[in-house]
Structure 1
Amino acid sequence: MASGAVTGKNGSGEPSKVSFFNSQKRTCPVCEESFKREELLTGGGRLNAKALTDELHRLFQPTEKYGNVHPLIYSIWTCPNCYYSAFREDFSKPKKDTLINLQTKVAMQMRKGVVEGIFDDINFSGYRHLEEGISAYIIGIYSYEHFPKTQAPILKQGICAIRAAWLAVHLHDENPGENYDYLARILYRKAGYFYSRAIELNDIAEQPLTTTAIINYGPGADHNFGLDGAIYLAGMLQFKYGQRSDVDLRIKRLKEAKIMIARLVGSGRASQSKPTVILNHSRDLYGRINEELGTLCGL
């Protein structure tokens, strides 16, 4: 485990007052393991919000007392025994078929193997670091494979993937030269696929995204940008991280992204359901897509 990614610890290596373990134990529905959940403390200057990126990712300013604090690593629940991982609204009561599939030996081995092949010494019983945060979201992608379409699993896989990508970028910043930027690129591409697929399935009413099964569309934990945010990210991720080696396919994907973003900029006005930040980012992205299409098509 990279020593530079010690989120939630002070310079001496001792746990800082960034998080705490809730005294109320949770029981994993998959393996029936009881465990205490680590939760983020707020206030006291722990979180100093900075800008919102074009990926709708909220950045935070590190402080002298607490260092780098990454709230997203606490926003997904993970069983320390079987590595089942899901968002709070889904964790405790998976459907019967989902539970049966999550309990298979193959599924359990997959959840553990996928992260043990990336990081050493992952520990979901102790204080979380960036490595545990990334791992929890990667496992979440595999866990949501078994959820029914009524719980919008494809979008939730996308949220897991993009959050894991953001955390991998932060881990790379703290440990340059360890190839975590490569991990981030893989996760961004996965996120792009899941977001685009989620919008496609929503449009044909196969996996509707206007559902009470989605408590927070994210993509971060601090702000819910709703369905418009998901549509925007589908276009943004395709533009920034989609393949570029096949020019004809690149043009095709950019045209698809342009159509999606046009749905957001069409009204031209901000509203409660379409906040200014989404509208402004969408206008900028629409222009950037048009510019690249013009270059690729020789216009």
Structure 2
Amino acid sequence: MATSKKGGPEKKVGISYWSKDKVSCPVCKKAFEREVMRSGNGRMIAGGLTEELHRIYEPSAKFGRIYPLIYEIGVCPNCHTALFWNDFTEKIDPDDADKLFEHSEKRHKACEEIFPYYNLKHERSLFDGTAMYYLALMTYDDMGPYALPTMKKAIITLRLAWLTAEINQRCADHNYDLISKMFYSKALFFYQQAVINETERIEKSSTLNNMGPDIDKNYGWDGVIYLCGLLEYKYGQQEDIQMRLKKLSESKTAIARIFGLGKSSKSKPGPLLEHARNLYDNLSKLVNDDEF
């Protein structure tokens, strides 16, 4: 057993702690504890950035592999309302609150079908944290445009695709690889729908403070446009080839317009520009502009 400098047993410091300040659920009005991830001391060892703008964290000798993403969602254990932590302090339309309360058990049962025996009352695991994101997806389904639900569901489903892929790596043969693909398809839909809603002024998607998609950096609306193209390229339908080529051509045009590709401008330097250039090149190989 490790000892402290004073000679007694060394107190084990975990990955997270329970905040002294409780959170009030805006739906059922019950208070619950908030779990917060600790930072520092070698917990978060940043690794590479994937083409999906997902930051990989290397396991540490002391804490092993950690998943910072799973601490971004809060869930009321009483009514299973799940939101990004900041949204617990925002006003919810009374009709939406009534609907969320009415659908409490429905969310609980639906979540257990994919994440059986998830637990909201102990320190969260990868499995529990992923289940919380799924509860959040269903929660934002019942919220109006004021809450920017489409953009939030886009981020949530992309993170669910990452997290369920992680579960599959740790626990294969339980179909979480198929579930991950399902969430990628949903992410494609919600990202593209968020852009449509912005264009048609249905939801002010671009006003969301942090569009992630991960927690290490906010890539903003440029990141949204890039991910629309990337997800279409990687996970778009392939039954209707002409429709696919049309969508890929539109993605190529949007990416070139946003990032100024083909010009000498360096106004958008950094990893996002590099990934956008790679995607542009890949789209160019697939799309024959003369066909359109």
Report the TM-score when normalising by structure 2: 0.89
CA 1:47–1:95 in 2, change beyond 3 Å: closer, same or farther?
same
- Larger CA deviation: 117-126 vs 242-251: 242-251
| Counterpart contact for 1:20–1:39, Cα < 8 Å | yes
CA 1:41–1:200 in 2, change beyond 3 Å: closer, same or farther?
same
SS in 2 for 1:103: helix
**Alignment partner of 1:53 is 2:50:** yes
Could you say which residue in structure 2 is the equivalent of 1:282? Answer: 276
Instruction: Give the aligned residue type for 2:279.
Output: L
- Larger CA deviation: 138-147 vs 221-230: 138-147
SS in 2 for 1:80: coil
1:29 to partner: Cα distance: 1.6
Could you say which residue in structure 1 is the equivalent of 2:183? Answer: 187
| Counterpart contact for 1:133–1:164, Cα < 8 Å | no
Question: Residue deviations 1:238-272, cap 9 Å, x none?
Answer: 1111122322232232123223212223264343x
**Alignment partner of 1:80 is 2:77:** yes
Could you say which residue in structure 2 is the equivalent of 1:202? Answer: 198
Residues 136-147 of structure 1 aligned to structure 2 (within 5 Å):
136-147=132-143
| Counterpart contact for 2:23–2:88, Cα < 8 Å | no
1:223 to partner: Cα distance: 0.8
Larger Rg: 2
| Counterpart contact for 1:20–1:41, Cα < 8 Å | yes
Q: Distance in 2 between matches of 1:226 and 1:245?
A: 32
Instruction: Give the aligned residue type for 2:186.
Output: K
1:77 to partner: Cα distance: 1.1
Could you say which residue in structure 1 is the equivalent of 2:145? Answer: 149
| Counterpart contact for 2:24–2:88, Cα < 8 Å | no
Could you say which residue in structure 1 is the equivalent of 2:248? Answer: 254
SS in 2 for 1:24: coil
- Larger CA deviation: 139-148 vs 217-226: 139-148
Could you say which residue in structure 1 is the equivalent of 2:30? Answer: 33
| Counterpart contact for 1:264–1:279, Cα < 8 Å | no
| Counterpart contact for 1:172–1:179, Cα < 8 Å | yes
1:45 to partner: Cα distance: 0.4
SS in 2 for 1:39: strand
1:169 to partner: Cα distance: 1.2
Q: Distance in 2 between matches of 1:200 and 1:258?
A: 17
Q: Distance in 2 between matches of 1:256 and 1:218?
A: 23
Question: Residue deviations 1:123-172, cap 9 Å, x none?
Answer: 11111111122111112111112222133210000011011111111111
Q: Distance in 1 between matches of 2:178 and 2:169?
A: 12
| Counterpart contact for 2:185–2:236, Cα < 8 Å | yes
- Larger CA deviation: 139-148 vs 181-190: 139-148
Could you say which residue in structure 2 is the equivalent of 1:19? Answer: 16
**Alignment partner of 1:172 is 2:165:** no
Q: Distance in 1 between matches of 2:31 and 2:73?
A: 16
Instruction: Give the aligned residue type for 1:61.
Output: E
Could you say which residue in structure 2 is the equivalent of 1:163? Answer: 159
1:275 to partner: Cα distance: 4.3
Instruction: Give the aligned residue type for 2:96.
Output: T
| Counterpart contact for 2:157–2:184, Cα < 8 Å | yes
Instruction: Give the aligned residue type for 2:192.
Output: S
Question: Residue deviations 1:16-37, cap 9 Å, x none?
Answer: 6111111211121212232111
Q: Distance in 2 between matches of 1:43 and 1:35?
A: 26
1:188 to partner: Cα distance: 0.7
**Alignment partner of 1:96 is 2:94:** yes
Could you say which residue in structure 1 is the equivalent of 2:227? Answer: 233
1:63 to 60, 64, 67: 60
| Counterpart contact for 1:38–1:127, Cα < 8 Å | yes
Q: Distance in 2 between matches of 1:27 and 1:292?
A: 51
Q: Distance in 1 between matches of 2:235 and 2:281?
A: 17
1:216 to 210, 218, 229: 210
How many residues are matched? 277
Instruction: Give the aligned residue type for 2:190.
Output: F
Structure 1 ranges of 4+ moved more than 6 A: none
SS in 1 for 2:211: coil
| Counterpart contact for 1:47–1:60, Cα < 8 Å | yes
CA 1:217–1:275 in 2, change beyond 3 Å: closer, same or farther?
farther
Question: Residue deviations 1:35-93, cap 9 Å, x none?
Answer: 11111000010110001110000000011221110000000111112111111222233
Instruction: Give the aligned residue type for 1:86.
Output: L
Report the TM-score when normalising by structure 1: 0.87
